Amino acid sequence: MNNYIDQLSIDCVVFGYQSKTLKVLITKIINIDNCYALPGGFILQNEDIDIAARRILNERTSLDHIYLDQFKAFGKNNRRDQRFIQQVMENQIWNTNQSGIKIDLNWLDKRFVSLGYYALVDIENVVLRKSEIDESVDWVDLDKVPQLIFDHNEIISEALVELREKFDKKLIGFNLLPSIFTMRDLQELYEVVYDTPFARNNFQKKILDLNVLERLEKKYTGAANKAPYLYRFIK
Amino acid sequence: MNNYIDQLSIDCVVFGYQSKTLKVLITKIINIDNCYALPGGFILQNEDIDIAARRILNERTSLDHIYLDQFKAFGKNNRRDQRFIQQVMENQIWNTNQSGIKIDLNWLDKRFVSLGYYALVDIENVVLRKSEIDESVDWVDLDKVPQLIFDHNEIISEALVELREKFDKKLIGFNLLPSIFTMRDLQELYEVVYDTPFARNNFQKKILDLNVLERLEKKYTGAANKAPYLYRFIK
């Protein structure tokens, strides 16, 4: 495992948005019953950590360009999940990885510090793929995430705190929407992220005052007089 | 060096405030000309990363309780400073550390990912100490920081961005002040951190409305009628 940095991993909280619900990408680990985790991986010796995170996400989402933010390192000494490590050892599931590099199981049987990233994607653009250790990779509603290995549930909670702090200030929410959307789509997204309703007129004024939206034609709904305008985010 | 996690370091941006100036703690590395760095160190195998950061800071500041926030990992593949590493190798300066553990120089001659922490301290409480690799440890005005090794100047810049984002929201600024201060002291601190003047009445109203200050007696200045009130932060 000299190709990877020892004792250092990356775990990604990939947020998506669909049907007025915030979702996260969860992997089910192969050959172990009910064992779920965040999509993660390791850092090659000559690889920037941000590039490693993009590679790990590309392996699961097929996306090349992705909004990504490294927000915190998770490094409690006791974050390791001994039961999980034991099962991996017994099942010999991690003998190769995507790159065909042999994984030394003793290498895995150490304490790891994990760099937490969160990503925002338009679910419609994602083509889910499995890495060799994934039995499946699926979108899960944020409020229905099962018990995950290690401290991965805590990583999601912390990512959500960070998302809320940055969402408004950095206008990153547009990464969760299709490129063209209505004002109502946008408001619903904000309401879901902050888990609170906003007054329609206030919301619209506040957003339009930012001068980051281009107004396009009206959305075709069949009822022309009530049709809402479509908008596009000006990058 | 089996006692430390390989290829992972901690670098700390310690902010202090004195004479209306924001300062950071800089170490001068022993036996190398003009070689400056952030106070840093490594993580013991069984040590939480936050505890490692506290130990590293205690080694330089003698403080046990310190406001500390881990804000970003720095992990570009090319962040290593080859010239510095070469000089360390030639000068054989890092053969032991504070704990008396032998440092294998080959261990140091690798790529490191560094976890960036920032700390806020009341300068008056700090008793500066040197670790074995420090020729000196000094407070330097934020706008007079010299060229540092690796990406340490960038780590300071990023810490300052983070400090400004969190300063107001989390009321962390009080960590930079003595426990008792005047409203003017507090306003001056805010003006220095944000590098912008605030209107006195607005500032005072905004701060008092937060209900986090306890008003004490007036400050003794000799001119009783103009003496300002003293305040204390309610934790």
B115 contacts A77? CB cut-off 8 A: no
User: What pTM value is reported for the model?
Assistant: 0.90
Q: CA-based Rg of chain B, rounded to a whole angstrom?
A: 20
pLDDT digits (tens, 9 = 90+) for A81-132: 888 888 877 766 565 554 444 566 778 889 999 999 999 999 999 999 998 8
Q: Which residues on A lie below 8 Å from B45 (Cβ)?
A: 111
Give residue A99's pLDDT: 41
Give residue B49's pLDDT: 98
Q: How far apart are the first and last CA of chain A?
A: 41
Provide the CA A119 distance to its chain's centre, in angstroms. 4
Tokens, residue B80: 């290593």
Evaluate if residue A30 carries a pLDDT over 90. Answer: no
Give residue A5's pLDDT: 95
Q: What is the CATH number of domain B4-167?
A: 3.90.79.10
Residues of A with CB under 8 A from a CB of B: 5-8, 43, 45-50, 70, 72-73, 75-77, 111, 113, 115, 165
B3/B41 Cα distance (integer angstroms)? 13
CATH: 3.10.129.10, 1.10.3720.10, 1.10.10.10, 3.40.50.1820. Which one for B179-233? 1.10.10.10
Q: Average pLDDT, whole number, for chain A?
A: 90
Residue recorded with tokens 């888990």: A195
pLDDT band at A2 (very low <50, low <70, confident <90, very high): low
> E strand or H helix at A59, and its extent?
helix A49-61
- How many angstroms separate the CA of residue B113 from the nearest CA in chain A? 8
Give residue B217's pLDDT: 86
Mean pLDDT of the region A135-154: 96
List every span in chain A annotated with CATH 1.10.10.10. Answer: 179-233
User: ipTM of this model?
Assistant: 0.88
B173/B94 Cα distance (integer angstroms)? 36
Give residue A219's pLDDT: 80
A230/A226 Cα distance (integer angstroms)? 13
- How many angstroms separate the CA of residue A141 from the nearest CA in chain B? 28
Evaluate if residue A146 carries a pLDDT over 70. Answer: yes
B75 contacts A48? CB cut-off 8 A: yes
A138/B21 Cα distance (integer angstroms)? 51
pLDDT in tens, chain B (235 residues): 569 999 999 999 999 999 999 999 999 988 888 899 999 999 999 999 999 999 999 999 999 999 999 999 999 999 988 888 888 777 666 655 544 445 667 788 899 999 999 999 999 999 999 988 889 999 999 999 999 999 999 999 999 999 998 888 888 999 999 999 999 999 999 999 999 999 999 999 999 999 999 999 888 777 666 789 999 998 7
Among B8, B10, B114, the residue to mutate for chain A (most A Cβ within 10 A): B8
List every span in chain A annotated with CATH 3.90.79.10. Answer: 4-167
Evaluate if residue A180 carries a pLDDT over 60. Answer: yes
Among B6, B50, B73, beta carbon nearest to A7: B6
A1/A101 Cα distance (integer angstroms)? 8
Give residue A81's pLDDT: 85
Q: Which residues on B lie below 8 Å from A111 (Cβ)?
A: 5, 45-46
